[in-house]
Chains A and B, each alone.
Chain A
Amino acid sequence: MDLIYEKSRPGRRASTLPRYDLPAAEVPAELRRAEPPRLPELAEPEIVRHFTELSTRNFGIDTGFYPLGSCTMKHNPRVNERLVMLPGFKDLHPCQEEDGAQGALELMWRLQEILQEVAGLHACSLQPAAGSQGELTGLMLMRAYFEDIGEGEQRDTIITVDTAHGTNPASVTMSGYKLEKVATDARGNLDVDDLRAKVNERTAGLMLTNPSTLGLFDEHIEEVAAIFHDAGSLLYYDGANLNAVCGISRPGDMGFDIVHINLHKTFSQPHGGGGPGGGPIVVREKLEPFLPVPAVVRDGDEFRLDHDRPKSIGKVRGFTGPFGVFVRSYAYIRAYGPALREMSEVAVLNANYLLARLRDAYDLPYDRLCMHEFVLSARRLKREHGVSALDVAKRLMDYGYHPPTIYFPLVVPEALMIEPTETEPKERLDGFVDAMLAIAREAAESPELLHEAPTTRPVRRLDEVKAAKRAVVKYGFEEHPDLSGEAGEARQLEAQKGA
């Protein structure tokens, strides 16, 4: 379909704006805009149609089943969208005096208390804007803590696991730490022997997702925590998979010192096509002095922002964090109450049901009960029929499903990482199973159906190599290149990972 710029006609506009009978203000000549930006020129009807048509070319949870592993694509309660639009929330200025923002501050304080309870830890900062920023903030806290106790120079290494999200090693680099990697053992747990050999007085900490990206709870977590704590190191919990264990096992009780929580996963901030998210961090008492400023605190019946934290790492984002995300997550949790545990129980039940029904048709690299997600492998289909995980993913689209995460975690060849979440009814799960089983049969009988898929979407497979090579990253107006003249191939990058 045409770009909005291609629908533009000079002189059209949608906006009506107030004009006041005031003298025009003069912009100094050297600062004045010479050429107007070429923004779209359309009246409102065609703007609405344009974005509505775009939306029909997109697939969300509202459209159908979206088992994108590690992303927790659960239903987003609609009441939260109403709540976030209350004028007291949406029109509140962040510099409003504290006596004019008591409701917002109380909501944030209450959310902090809830997250502390769910994490089993002592203090919380809501400021980080996403999980990856929570990770980075956590590593900054480690650095500040060790500098404070005189071990800042000595402790220069962070350990991550081979199953970790790519954000973990990227955060380590951004925080200025050295990276050490440990392996996963045959049961999908951290390799404790490998770990013992690598943890020493230079280790600042561990970054771990538990349950892991394999969807497996680490059976030696107590031993792992002891190894780090005995070495004077800290443990960081990547909360990407917290949806599996709310009210069932708390990261603080597992021995973790710092936790980030993805509000857009576990606590249902809509994913928005790629964001916004929220990545609050929750920490043990000894790390509290280093949390970002300002802190939201309670003094009797009043709530206020505390900027006086001399040991704080500073700020990682503007103001106090993505407030609208807090409104939705707070409301989401209040609707559950202590039954939050049931959310995780059903997430794990749904995942295990899918696993039980799919394990014979696909390979299961780690034969255990899973938590909220599991990883299958299409390696047998590839070996026997020349059909890849990518082909399976594309064929699922023709059956009306969003594909799982593929080719991640990296330790599983031809990985299909499936996370149904708790909000799917059994009929949806059964429908997905039927599609996956049908695809496995098709792989044997008519593999071309998989190679050519999808055929029912607005576009066929796209040429990602061409996109990267040509790097057409904006509309070029009269100079816009016509790429269609150049033969396309279905070249897609293999590594894809949702989270």
Chain B
Amino acid sequence: MGQLSLTDADREEMLAAIGVASVDELFRDIPAGVRFRGELDLEPALSEPELVRHLEELAARNVDTTRELSFLGAGIYDHYVPAVVDAVLQRGEFLTAYTPYQPEMSQGVLQAIFEYQTAICELTGMDVSNASGYDGTTVAADACFVAKHATGRSKIVLAETLAPQVRQVVKTYAVGFGLEVVEVPHSGGTTDPDRLAAAASDAAAVIFQQPNVFGILEDAPALAAAANGAGAMAIAHVDPISLGVLEAPGNYGCAMAIGEGQSAGNYQSYAGPHYGFLAAKAEYTRRLPGRIIGETTDLNGERGYVLTLQTREQHIRREKATSNITTNQTLLALAGLVHLSWLGPQGLREVGETCMSLGAYARERLGLAPAFPGTATFKEFAVRIRRPARDVIRDARAHGVHPGYAIGRDYEGMDDVLLIAVTEKRTPADVDQLAQVLAEVRA
């Protein structure tokens, strides 16, 4: 076993120092009735080359986005991850460290996450960001917990155009939080500010998504105003890669901004590990869940970074904590920072513009009826294909093209709707190929 170092001589010497005759004796405090006798029923050990071969065989049975021209999105996107991200993440000092409880040992990750928090605040127009949440669904539940305690109210309003699994996770958590969840149906693919305002009375928070689940740009400032008018916190669920071209939630009245970080710096990886981000205006700082890094000085007056505002957290406050989160997604958040640093403000805007113009080209080139006419979209759009989308996907995949997501899985009356995503990794020629294949399989 290449992971273990003790020789037989080491073992003898160590057992003697302990004063026991055998390793088995070390376990004498375990009652006989609960000792496991025999051998675990696991397959035989694999050597490293055998292990690689076995996993390669499993991987080969997946059809990934390098083997199929893919237009899948629905919350996870095939954006380009620059090589510097891989290089930084493989630094063992980052990869194999843990939560920076001892700041003198951990200035690297502490400063990096302080820089990440800054980047998230810049993207979202907020004053404070935590060090990451699990993903784009759990940060929504976290935000509801903040809203409940900040407002003293216990109703949460969700736009139906918020991704289904985000709503599902909020509902799962709401039981224990003691929250009532109300959903506002969409009107022609977007959320009507008046309907949202009516639902928001007495609500702790309103959560909407920009761009929404159909890829459509909501009138986000009007939705935030509707929430604020009812005294509810406006919470925007946003895509970080869109924030070079789309306005920051903090600049149109939102109290918090949350989202799935994957499109900034993380591979699709069959949905994880990724990171969720959560940022807020300053008045909510001491209510936020999760780790927060703060600046301070050392004995010599030199600048340094520490875990701060820890009196919110479970290891200090236990049952009175703002969350139970401990292990978060630091390494993936670091990937986000490296990607955003590689892009810079100019690159971020260009990615957004390229996605939008490719999307516009695709809508026109495909010539299919939009599911929701008269709406503006970002990098994803929904079209009616007049055949069950699942069948179209099956047939298109036989031509080596995955044409998108069958959103009828999540919304009634949309079985013939395909949700198509384009990122900067697709080209106009790719879109032409999609158009050709769709034309064939629709015939």
Q: A87-B66, A222-B33 in contact; A130/B134 too (CB < 8 A)?
A: yes
Asked if residues A216 and B96 are in contact (CB atoms below 8 Å), the reply is no
Question: Which residue of B is nearest A89, CB measured?
Answer: B59
Asked if residues B45 and A334 are in contact (CB atoms below 8 Å), the reply is yes
Q: Which residues of B contact A42 (CB under 8 A)?
A: 341, 344
Q: Flag whether B383 is at the interface (Cβ < 8 A).
A: no
Asked if residues B176 and A13 are in contact (CB atoms below 8 Å), the reply is no
Distance between Cα atoms of A20 and B353 in the complex (Å): 10
Q: Flag whether A44 is at the interface (Cβ < 8 A).
A: yes
Asked if residues A58 and B63 are in contact (CB atoms below 8 Å), the reply is no
Q: A77-B3, A96-B63, A474-B129 in contact; A39/B341 too (CB < 8 A)?
A: yes
Distance between Cα atoms of A488 and B58 in the complex (Å): 55
B352 to chain A, nearest CB (A): 9
A314 to chain B, nearest CB (A): 4
Give a binary string over A451-478; 1 marks a CB under 8 Å from any B CB, 0 the rest. Answer: 0001001111111101110111111000
Distance between Cα atoms of A90 and B265 in the complex (Å): 12
Checking A95, A170, A350, A405 against B318 with a beta-carbon cut-off of 8 angstroms, the contacting residue is: A170
Q: Which residues of B contact A397 (CB under 8 A)?
A: 102, 104-105
Asked if residues A273 and B34 are in contact (CB atoms below 8 Å), the reply is no
Distance between Cα atoms of A453 and B394 in the complex (Å): 65
Asked if residues B338 and A19 are in contact (CB atoms below 8 Å), the reply is no
Asked if residues A264 and B327 are in contact (CB atoms below 8 Å), the reply is yes
Checking B23, B42, B169 against A314 with a beta-carbon cut-off of 8 angstroms, the contacting residue is: B169
Q: Which residues of B contact A84 (CB under 8 A)?
A: 269
Give a binary string over A166-208; 1 marks a CB under 8 Å from any B CB, 0 the rest. Answer: 1101111111110100000000000000000000000000000
Asked if residues B48 and A54 are in contact (CB atoms below 8 Å), the reply is no
Q: Which residues of A contact B441 (CB under 8 A)?
A: none
**Which of A95, A114, A493, A499 gathers most chain B CB within 10 Å?**
A95
Distance between Cα atoms of A165 and B326 in the complex (Å): 10
Q: Flag whether B151 is at the interface (Cβ < 8 A).
A: no
Q: Which of B76-84, B186-194, B201-209, B366-374 contacts A (4 or more CB under 8 A)?
A: B76-84
Q: Flag whether A266 is at the interface (Cβ < 8 A).
A: no
Q: A22-B360, A334-B46 in contact; A36/B345 too (CB < 8 A)?
A: yes
Checking A88, A457, A490 against B62 with a beta-carbon cut-off of 8 angstroms, the contacting residue is: A88
Checking B36, B245, B302, B428 against A32 with a beta-carbon cut-off of 8 angstroms, the contacting residue is: B245
Asked if residues A101 and B62 are in contact (CB atoms below 8 Å), the reply is yes
Asked if residues A82 and B297 are in contact (CB atoms below 8 Å), the reply is no
Q: Flag whether A239 is at the interface (Cβ < 8 A).
A: no
Asked if residues B131 and A274 are in contact (CB atoms below 8 Å), the reply is yes
Distance between Cα atoms of A498 and B323 in the complex (Å): 16
Q: Which of A134-142, A229-237, A439-447 contacts B (4 or more CB under 8 A)?
A: A134-142
Q: Which residues of A contact B52 (CB under 8 A)?
A: 79, 82-83
Distance between Cα atoms of A471 and B3 in the complex (Å): 43
Give a binary string over B49-83; 1 marks a CB under 8 Å from any A CB, 0 the rest. Answer: 00110111111111111111010101110101010
Checking A321, A339, A405, A425 against B6 with a beta-carbon cut-off of 8 angstroms, the contacting residue is: A425
Asked if residues A117 and B40 are in contact (CB atoms below 8 Å), the reply is yes
Question: Which residue of A is nearest B164, CB measured?
Answer: A315
Asked if residues A140 and B108 are in contact (CB atoms below 8 Å), the reply is no
Distance between Cα atoms of A349 and B260 in the complex (Å): 43
Q: Flag whether B273 is at the interface (Cβ < 8 A).
A: yes
Question: Which residue of A is nearest B210, CB measured?
Answer: A31
Distance between Cα atoms of A35 and B377 in the complex (Å): 21
Q: Flag whether A297 is at the interface (Cβ < 8 A).
A: no
**Which of A3, A44, A61, A90 gathers most chain B CB within 10 Å?**
A90
Distance between Cα atoms of A52 and B345 in the complex (Å): 22
Q: A106-B58, A136-B324 in contact; A318/B91 too (CB < 8 A)?
A: no
Question: Which residue of A is nearest B7, CB measured?
Answer: A426
Question: Which residue of A is nearest B141, CB measured?
Answer: A316
Distance between Cα atoms of A315 and B20 in the complex (Å): 48
Q: Which residues of A contact B115 (CB under 8 A)?
A: 3-5, 40, 475
B136 to chain A, nearest CB (A): 6
Asked if residues B65 and A273 are in contact (CB atoms below 8 Å), the reply is no
A161 to chain B, nearest CB (A): 12
Q: Flag whether B436 is at the interface (Cβ < 8 A).
A: no
Number of interface residues of B (CB under 8 A): 208
A402 to chain B, nearest CB (A): 6
Q: Which of A243-251, A280-288, A376-384 contacts B (4 or more CB under 8 A)?
A: A243-251
Asked if residues B59 and A88 are in contact (CB atoms below 8 Å), the reply is yes
Q: Which residues of A contact B55 (CB under 8 A)?
A: 83, 86, 107, 327, 330-331
Q: Flag whether B357 is at the interface (Cβ < 8 A).
A: yes
Give a binary string over B269-301; 1 marks a CB under 8 Å from any A CB, 0 the rest. Answer: 111111000000000010000011111111111
**Which of A91, A457, A468 gathers most chain B CB within 10 Å?**
A91
Q: A34-B251, A337-B45, A356-B18 in contact; A324/B309 too (CB < 8 A)?
A: no
Checking A19, A34, A166 against B315 with a beta-carbon cut-off of 8 angstroms, the contacting residue is: A166
Distance between Cα atoms of A128 and B79 in the complex (Å): 25
Q: A5-B115, A15-B344 in contact; A356/B137 too (CB < 8 A)?
A: no
B146 to chain A, nearest CB (A): 13
Checking B17, B75, B135, B356 against A27 with a beta-carbon cut-off of 8 angstroms, the contacting residue is: B356
Q: A33-B246, A273-B109 in contact; A86/B59 too (CB < 8 A)?
A: yes
Asked if residues A463 and B296 are in contact (CB atoms below 8 Å), the reply is yes
Distance between Cα atoms of A327 and B334 in the complex (Å): 21
B301 to chain A, nearest CB (A): 5
Question: Which residue of A is nearest B285, CB measured?
Answer: A471
Asked if residues B107 and A459 are in contact (CB atoms below 8 Å), the reply is yes
Asked if residues B35 and A222 are in contact (CB atoms below 8 Å), the reply is no
Q: A87-B59, A275-B329 in contact; A93/B70 too (CB < 8 A)?
A: yes
Q: Flag whether B182 is at the interface (Cβ < 8 A).
A: no
Q: Which residues of A contact B129 (CB under 8 A)?
A: 473-474
**Which of A117, A221, A334, A423 gathers most chain B CB within 10 Å?**
A334
Question: Which residue of B is nearest A303, CB measured?
Answer: B61
Distance between Cα atoms of A283 and B260 in the complex (Å): 29
Asked if residues B40 and A402 are in contact (CB atoms below 8 Å), the reply is no
Q: Flag whether A97 is at the interface (Cβ < 8 A).
A: yes
Q: A37-B123, A426-B5 in contact; A93/B175 too (CB < 8 A)?
A: no
Asked if residues A324 and B295 are in contact (CB atoms below 8 Å), the reply is no
Q: Flag whether B19 is at the interface (Cβ < 8 A).
A: yes
Q: Which residues of B contact A44 (CB under 8 A)?
A: 84, 342
Q: Which residues of B contact A255 (CB under 8 A)?
A: 34
B362 to chain A, nearest CB (A): 10
Q: Which residues of A contact B2 (CB under 8 A)?
A: 77, 335
Distance between Cα atoms of A100 and B173 in the complex (Å): 32
Distance between Cα atoms of A38 and B270 in the complex (Å): 31
**Which of B26, B103, B320, B329 gathers most chain A CB within 10 Å?**
B26
Q: Flag whether A112 is at the interface (Cβ < 8 A).
A: no
Q: Flag whether B321 is at the interface (Cβ < 8 A).
A: yes
B179 to chain A, nearest CB (A): 10
Give a binary string over B377-411; 1 marks a CB under 8 Å from any A CB, 0 the rest. Answer: 00000000000000001100100001001000000
Q: Which residues of B contact A170 (CB under 8 A)?
A: 314, 317-319, 321, 323-324
Q: Flag whether B304 is at the interface (Cβ < 8 A).
A: yes
B332 to chain A, nearest CB (A): 6
B287 to chain A, nearest CB (A): 13
Checking A15, A94, A100 against B63 with a beta-carbon cut-off of 8 angstroms, the contacting residue is: A100
Question: Which residue of B is nearest A13, CB measured?
Answer: B344
Could you write out 28 A-B pairs with CB less than 8 Å apart? A12-B344, A25-B353, A32-B247, A33-B349, A39-B340, A48-B87, A57-B111, A81-B90, A88-B60, A91-B267, A100-B63, A102-B62, A103-B62, A117-B41, A166-B314, A176-B176, A221-B31, A246-B40, A274-B328, A275-B331, A276-B328, A337-B45, A338-B39, A356-B17, A402-B105, A408-B315, A467-B308, A468-B311
| Given A37-B248, A171-B324, 12 new contacts (CB under 8 A) | A17-B354, A57-B107, A57-B111, A61-B96, A88-B60, A100-B62, A250-B36, A323-B271, A338-B45, A369-B28, A473-B129, A483-B297
A-B pairs, top 5 by smallest CB distance, nearest first, are A88-B59, A62-B92, A272-B331, A58-B108, A337-B45
